[in-house]
Amino acid sequence: MNEMKAVEIQYGEKVIDIELLFQSIIAFPHIKHIEKINNEMNEFTKCLRNPIGTLPLSEMVVDKKNTIVVIPDLTRPMPISSMLPLIVDELNKGGLKDENIKAVIALGTHRAMTEKEIVTMVGREVYDRIRVVNHDWGNSEALVCLGKTPNGIWIDVNKEVYEAAFVVGLSSVKPHRGVGWSGGAKIILPGVCGKRSIDGTHYMDVNYTTQEITGILKNPIREEMEQVAKDVGLNFSINLVLNENDEIVHISSGDFILAHKKAVEFAETIYRDPQKEKGDYLICGSGKWAPDFWSSVQGIFPAEYLVKEGGTVVIFASCPEGLSPEHPQLSEFGYRPLREIFKLVNEGAITDLAAASHMATVSRILFEKNIECILVSEGFPREVAEFMGLKWVENHQEAIDYIFKKHTMSARGYVFPVKSITDTVVIPW
């Protein structure tokens, strides 16, 4: 007897219900649950005072004229409003006054945050104490060029960050398709670098499959980032591991390579969820942390290794900000076979290499594995989705029913409900 199961899927700010055959679900890949740290703010301060490979934070800033704290933007949910005041307190303890402390939001090439969003993210208390500004990645006058890396990538970095007497980076650590693991040096590149630098490192990953980079600590792209962070001067790195509720379960701080490595070692114990069977389908939601399709689409990246050739993926993405306002070449060229992407890049038609990298990652799924992608979204119209190479469906349940019409009632697959951004980056091998 075929038993139906009601499944809740995150869809932007809300949760939607879908009906699935219970027997068809191979697994809901997820991270191992760990309770949050008790007295996490006390533990956070303790970590700043007992770092790995450096002196305590307050001692490192003695006699420094100023400090910049580089923090993530709203696409990386973290309890920043609780932690940033504690960082500022430790800097005060080392002799720095509030007026000599600034927080720079590491946007990469994301859109600038509004003042309201910034106040909500960092908290009114710290917003009134120190200056908090967006990284202006598209303004050449706000950047300084440090030359090129050995691989030929331009190092264009936020001028204020580079010229600061001391730089602190705050990050979360989880598996990442482009760099192996987030955190550590990534807060500098791409966080506070210019477009040439971001394009360069993003485009490095076009020749690697998801399995070759995701969850791998030592890889060419991570090494490139660490060299740039060293050149820029990342003096102190704070790395958090979060559970599925975005609560802190691990903190490590200090030397940006050693502290990051320590966090990765912990994260590996909760992020690996081995799966042996390849499915006919993958269904994924996306939360409020994904305002556009650029952010939402990472939910289908696991299809490259979890779904059979000719399979189907469904992504529920509200996309209130559309496809990707910061990367218009996505809508200009759409997804297409890898050889065409490389040709367009070589001819100079595609100049946004970060967009090219994104196209290549999705195209590995759509064209190299012939996996059909169904999009349920109110953020942009059917004609845009279809031009991109996606199948657009208006009704949530209609998208699910399509899977079983296509693959028959014996279809089996994976579901990522996605309560948190953390849920999209499980390592299923």
Share of the chain above pLDDT 70, in %: 97
Strand order through the sheet with 307-316: 25-27, 413-416, 279-284, 307-316, 372-376, 391-392
pLDDT at 76 > cutoff 70: yes
3-state DSSP assignment of residue 142:
helix
User: What is the rounded distance in angstroms from the CA atom of residue 255 to the CA atom of residue 248?
Assistant: 20
* CA-based nearest residue to 292, from 74, 85, 44: 74
pLDDT at 424 > cutoff 80: no
Q: Give the model confidence (pLDDT) of 350-379 as tens digits.
A: 999 999 999 999 999 999 999 999 999 988
pLDDT at 429 > cutoff 90: no
Question: What pLDDT score was predicted for residue 314?
Answer: 96
pLDDT at 300 > cutoff 90: no
Mean pLDDT score of the chain, rounded to an integer?
92
Of residues 176 and 77, more confidence is placed in 176
**CATH T-level topology, domain 40-271:** Rossmann fold (3.40.50)
Rg (CA), the chain: 21
CA distances from 363 to 14, 34, 325, 381, 403 (A): 29, 35, 20, 21, 20
* pLDDT mean over 244-253: 93
Q: Give the model confidence (pLDDT) of 147-159 as tens digits.
A: 999 889 999 999 9
User: What is the rounded distance in angstroms from the CA atom of residue 33 to the CA atom of residue 36?
Assistant: 9
- Helix (H) or strand (E) run with residue 62 in it: none
Count of CB atoms within 10 A of residue 250's CB? 21
* CA-based nearest residue to 409, from 138, 8, 23: 23
| 40-271 matches 4-30+273-425 in CATH topology | no
Q: Give the model confidence (pLDDT) of 16-28 as tens digits.
A: 899 998 899 999 9
Q: Give the model confidence (pLDDT) of 39-74 as tens digits.
A: 999 999 999 999 999 999 999 999 999 999 999 998
Question: What pLDDT score was predicted for residue 420?
Answer: 60
CATH 3.90.226.30 fits 4-30+273-425, yes or no: yes
- Count CA atoms closer than 13 A to 194's CA, side-chain side: 22
* pLDDT mean over 188-198: 95
Q: Tell how strand 236-242 and strand 248-254 pair up.
A: antiparallel
SS (H, E, C) 377-416: CCCCCHHHHHHHCCEECCCHHHHHHHHHHHHCCCCCEEEE
- In the DSSP assignment, the letter for residue 368 is I
Tokens of 310: 């000719």
* pLDDT band with cut points at 50, 70 and 90 for residue 222: very high
* pLDDT band with cut points at 50, 70 and 90 for residue 428: low
* pLDDT band with cut points at 50, 70 and 90 for residue 211: confident
Question: What pLDDT score was predicted for residue 77?
Answer: 82
* pLDDT band with cut points at 50, 70 and 90 for residue 426: confident
User: What is the rounded distance in angstroms from the CA atom of residue 168 to the CA atom of residue 196?
Assistant: 23
Q: Are 134 and 71 in contact, with CB atoms under 8 Å apart?
A: no
* pLDDT mean over 280-293: 89
Backbone phi, psi, residue 212, to 5°: -80, -15
Q: Are 103 and 132 in contact, with CB atoms under 8 Å apart?
A: yes
Of residues 302 and 171, more confidence is placed in 171
Of residues 289 and 349, more confidence is placed in 349
The model's pTM is 0.88
Q: Give the model confidence (pLDDT) of 96-119 as tens digits.
A: 999 999 999 999 988 899 999 999
* CA-based nearest residue to 69, from 131, 157, 16: 131
What are the boundaries of each domain within the chain?
A: 4-30+273-425, 40-271
* pLDDT mean over 310-327: 92
pLDDT at 2 > cutoff 90: no
* pLDDT band with cut points at 50, 70 and 90 for residue 329: very high
- Helix (H) or strand (E) run with residue 221 in it: helix 220-232
